[in-house]
């Protein structure tokens, strides 16, 4: 019986991590641009929208899953033309004012609360604020996927959480489309060598979870948020 459990456990690990290609993210001196080909700036709000709207294409929101007390699981939800919640990208090299392909980033849903921005490469500690809006990954045993969420380990009771950095890779340019990108997650402490693509998984929650995957990376564009003079917010791309 013990053997069986061990076999199951290692199978489970293979399922969760064995498929990761583990390769470092692709880095270059190419700039990441928003959908209207504008330069992107750290700590500025952007909407993240899927490239293939026809497959169900809204932005990002947070839902409550498992035993979490607060909505701490990222969902790319289905209603088209719904931009969802903005994200903020933070870079660790303070002198860098623009976002280049492959550089380590922290992603936060909001500038506050408790988004660790001073040192992107420093992992979220165990004492992290469960309300932190910074992205991490957690292993959801119920669906056997490693999912993207927010908050510290306390926000995902009973589940393994890993902090790390996010990196943007450029999808080869398609002149008929907006700039589109892939997202890579690298486990903290791996010196950016233990990395995986972010893909999606439909768990019947009205959208798709963002998960670690080797195949089928999630393709998306960034939309800058403009404030109209009348005070309403719109996004141009
Ligand atoms: C987290 O947010 C909730 C709801 O806003 C609040 O009640 C709680 O005190 C916060 N917890 C911490 C540790 O900040
Ligand atoms: C969630 O809570 C239920 C009820 O307390 C418990 O049975 C279950 O094991 C918990 N799940 C995790 C992943 O800790
Ligand atoms: C990557 O990191 C995860 C989490 O720490 C670990 O389980 C896995 O074995 C690592 N993979 C490689 C190839 O080092
Ligand atoms: C839009 O402008 C209002 C008022 O100037 C400001 O409070 C709000 O934060 C702005 N929103 C964005 C997304 O820039």
Helix (H) or strand (E) holding 142: none
Of the listed ranges 89-103, 159-173, 179-193, the least confidently predicted one is 89-103
Q: Could you tell me if residue 12 is inside a domain? A: no
Query: Is 5 domain-assigned?
Result: no
Q: Could you give the CA distance from residue 227 to residue 235 in angstroms, rounded to a whole number?
A: 8
10 lies in some domain? no
Q: Which two tokens stand for residue 179?
A: 């700039």
**Which ligand number lies closest to the CA of residue 158?**
2
- Of ligand 1's atoms, which has the minimum distance to the CA of residue 114? 14
The boundaries of the domain holding residue 55 are 21-236
CATH number at residue 100: 2.80.10.50
In a domain, 8, yes or no: no
The enclosing H or E element of 5 equals: helix 2-13
Tally of structural domains, the chain: 1
Within a domain: 136: yes
Nearest CA to ligand 1 atom 11: 131
Give the model confidence (pLDDT) of 41-75 as tens digits.
887 889 999 987 766 788 999 999 999 888 999 99
Q: Which atom of ligand 2 is found nearest the CA of 159?
A: 13
Whether residue 63 lies inside any domain: the answer is yes
User: What is the rounded CA–CA span in Å between residue 11 and residue 83?
Assistant: 38
Domain-embedded: residue 142: yes
pLDDT band at 144 (very low <50, low <70, confident <90, very high): very high
What is the Cα 28 distance to its own chain's centre?
20
Residue 3 in any domain: the answer is no
| pLDDT attached to residue 124 | 45
pLDDT greater at residue 122 or residue 145: 145
Give 119 or 138, the one with higher predicted confidence.
138
If you average pLDDT over each of 32-36, 55-59, 87-91, 200-204, which comes out highest?
A: 200-204
The per-residue pLDDT for 24 is 84
The residue contributing the CA closest to ligand 2 atom 12 is 158
Q: Which whole-number Å values give the CA distances from 134 to 64, 66, 89, 237, in the listed order?
A: 16, 19, 10, 25
CA 9 to CA 5: how far, in whole Å? 6
């Amino acid at each position: 019986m013990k053997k069986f459990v061990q076999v199951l456990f290692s199978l489970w690990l293979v399922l969760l991590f064995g498929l990761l290609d583990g390769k470092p993210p692709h880095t270059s001196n190419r700039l990441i641009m928003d959908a209207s080909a504008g330069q992107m700036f750290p700590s500025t709000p952007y909407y993240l929208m899927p490239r293939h709207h026809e497959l169900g294409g809204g932005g990002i929101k947070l839902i409550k899953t498992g035993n979490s007390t607060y909505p701490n699981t990222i969902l790319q939800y289905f209603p088209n033309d719904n931009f969802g919640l903005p994200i903020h990208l933070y870079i660790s090299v303070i002198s860098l004012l623009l976002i280049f392909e492959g550089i380590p980033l922290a992603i936060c849903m909001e500038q506050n609360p408790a988004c660790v921005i001073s040192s992107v490469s420093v992992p979220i500690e165990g004492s992290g604020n469960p309300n932190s809006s910074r992205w991490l990954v957690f292993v959801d045993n119920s669906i056997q996927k490693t999912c993207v969420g927010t908050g510290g380990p306390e926000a995902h009771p009973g589940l393994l959480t890993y902090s790390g950095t996010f990196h943007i890779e450029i999808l080869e340019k398609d002149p008929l489309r907006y700039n589109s990108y892939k997202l890579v997650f690298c486990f903290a402490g791996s010196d950016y060598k233990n990395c995986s693509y972010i893909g999606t998984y439909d768990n019947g929650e009205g959208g798709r979870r963002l998960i670690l995957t080797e195949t089928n990376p999630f393709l998306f564009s960034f939309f800058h948020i403009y404030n109209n003079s009348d005070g309403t917010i719109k996004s141009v791309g």
